[in-house]
Amino acid sequence: MCGIIGYVGGKSAAPILLDGLEKLEYRGYDSAGIAVINSNELNVIKTAKRIADLKGITQNGSTTKGNIGIGHTRWATHGAPTETNAHPHISYGGNFAVVHNGIIENYLPLKNELILKGVNFKSETDTEVIAHLLEFNFKGDVFDCIKNTISVLSGSYALGILYLNSPDTLYAVKNFSPLIAGVGVTENFIASDITPLIPHTKDVIYLKDKEIAVITGDSLNIFDLSGKPKSPKIERITGSAESVEKGGYDHFMMKEIKEQPPVILKTATPHIKDGRVVFDGLNLTKEKIKDIKKIVITACGSAYHTGMVAKYVFEQLLKIPVSVDLASEFRYQNPVVDQNTLVIVISQSGETADTLAALNKAKDKGAYTLGIVNVKGSSIAKACHDTLFTGAGSEISVATTKAYSAQLIILYLFAVFMAGHLGTSDEKLRAALLNEIMTLPQKVQEIFMLEENIKALAKKHHTITDAFFIGRNLDYAVALEGALKLKEISYINCLGMAAGELKHGTISLIENGTFVLALAMYEKLNDKMLSNIKEVKARGANVLVVTFKGNNTFLGAADDIIYLPKTHPLLTPSLAVIPLQIFAYYIALFRGADIDKPRNLAKSVTVE
């Protein structure tokens, strides 16, 4: 994810900004920049290289004078990683500088409106729209200008703002993207997480959505949109440097669970343009797509489970046979793939040893390869004929959450992209899917409101020794991921399986008190799932059902029910997985497990 740092006080701003950007490097980035006000000049220095280069340009900040400034590390979404696209962005009149984390969903119509009004754009970013809107909306009062600007923005944002004629005031505002204010002595800060603040202050304020912070060296005032002052809670940071980086959460896993709404936006938005899916730079031509007779998806762990979801989505939209193979098996098979086969390899790190070996096997057989990874420059990204990158950013917890969600989004979009070229699905269906994808972040936020209920269910079941996650169709694919989450961080023996397979042996393991989690988001098969639930209940199981709001099918049959927002049937995995992640987290918490670093596991599996 991108990083933000801002400073105002009595010290030279540039060295503090550069040091802060270095501490944000772990989040991943491909360009960086700072803006500093000095003597009625707004000085902006940017690079499409590393922060070390930025420090070299400014001689560690010594050549850039001024006591107020903002800095940013960018992970490219809208536009290539170039110096022009790097932040900060400057308004057309030169009066405002902006750094931005998040995605502005409606930037294109806003941009077109500004172009019609004579505004010239220099970058490809959504952020430049914000800078120009600030200039356009300014009528003499910066607070009103910011308020009127954010009132027309849709999406997620954390903004640090400088106004040239207020050389002692830093402004900040957020919506869905994290932003923290650091409270110092005769100096104050903003940052996207705690890390860059630690050398300067242990007192912080976690800004709330659509609160506007007006910050000087001697004051830090926060207002709601009506201009009413707020009384924010100042929190004291304690603990190790690692705990500080968790942004107030006890574990990275929960922090990363909560980052999924902006991750979904960051992954989806750059590829949806004018109601179509566009993958800039993709070499896979329309002619090549029409030659594809078979799709093979290969991956490991959670990435394999996203491939299981993709199989159902692809076959419905593309009418092409799809198989999903574990990369650790595929690499040692003699797979039936050729030049008319598309092999999709999925890996968060892009370095997974088994997946890389499977990729090379597919290439040796003449298949066309597409990588879905989170890390640019990774081995898989370099080796594939084509690569699509997710927008998950840095993920620290070994148990993946947001990277899984980002992979799902890319797979949905790729299915719609392929279907558009093949003409194998209705245009209205494709449009409906794209529209619904953009509603997923808000629906995930709604699920977060159920956290206390899920926590209570975890407390109820945390002493179990065995668990079964069951589902049908897409719910089966999600059951596999839910079971993996539970077993890898709580060490509970847990099996994810197709509900229809219970009767072929597994039901012999169901006895009084056995925990069964039944996924029932796929409405067409609710009656079948009800039968499976009755089968396990008859043998004494304790059943927790996850289904959608308004579905009364399981009342009286299940012991507990979690109700989720409804979405398009093909997109239900993006919602169904969220309570399973939270449930696994709290089970592990109540069992005293090492949540972020479960025993025997590594984040990137680069060995066989």
User: What residues are labeled active site?
Assistant: 2, 603
Rounded to an integer, what distance in angstroms lies between the CA atom of residue 533 and that of residue 521? 14
Question: CA nearest 298: which of 266, 331, 265, 255?
Answer: 331
Q: In 437-508, which ranges are E strands? A: 466-471, 493-498
Q: SS3 for 527? A: helix
With CA atoms as reference, report the closest residue to 398 among 484, 522, 329, 336: 484
CA nearest neighbour of 367 among 345, 382, 389:
345
**Cα gap 520→514, rounded to integer Å:** 19
Helical ranges in 41-186 per DSSP H: 51-57, 107-116, 127-137, 142-150
Provide CB contacts within 8 A for 110, sequence distance 6+. 104, 129, 133, 152, 153
Residue 352: both structure tokens together = 């997974």
Residue 81 preceded by cis peptide, ω within 30: no
Q: Is the CB of residue 77 less than 8 Å from the CB of residue 266?
A: yes
What is the SS3 assignment for 443? helix
Which residues, 6+ apart, have CB-to-CB distance to 306 below 8 Å?
A: 299, 346, 404, 407, 408, 411
DSSP character at residue 394: -
Contact 326, 347 (CB under 8 A): no
Please count the residues of the chain: 608
CA dihedral sign, ordered 145, 210, 38, 119: negative
Reading the block at residue 551, the tokens are 């579905």
Query: CA 150 → CA 145, 157, 183, 426, 518, distances in Å?
Result: 9, 9, 25, 36, 42
Residues 6 or more apart whose Cβ sits within 8 Å of residue 311:
297, 322, 323, 324, 477
Q: Helix 142-150 crosses helix 127-137 at what angle (to 10 degrees)?
A: 130
Contacts of 281 (CB under 8 A, 6+ apart): none
Residues 6+ apart with CB under 8 A from 559: 542, 543, 544
Contact call for residues 170 and 68 (beta carbons, < 8 A) = yes
d(CA 288, CA 422): 11
Residue 440 tokens, joined = 């997923």
> Could you give the 3-state DSSP secondary structure of residue 444?
helix
Q: Considering only CA atoms, give the Rg of the chain.
A: 25
Q: How far is CA 472 from CA 291, 313, 477, 497, in A?
A: 31, 14, 8, 9
* Helix orientation angle between 451-461 and 572-590, rounded to the nearest 10 degrees: 50
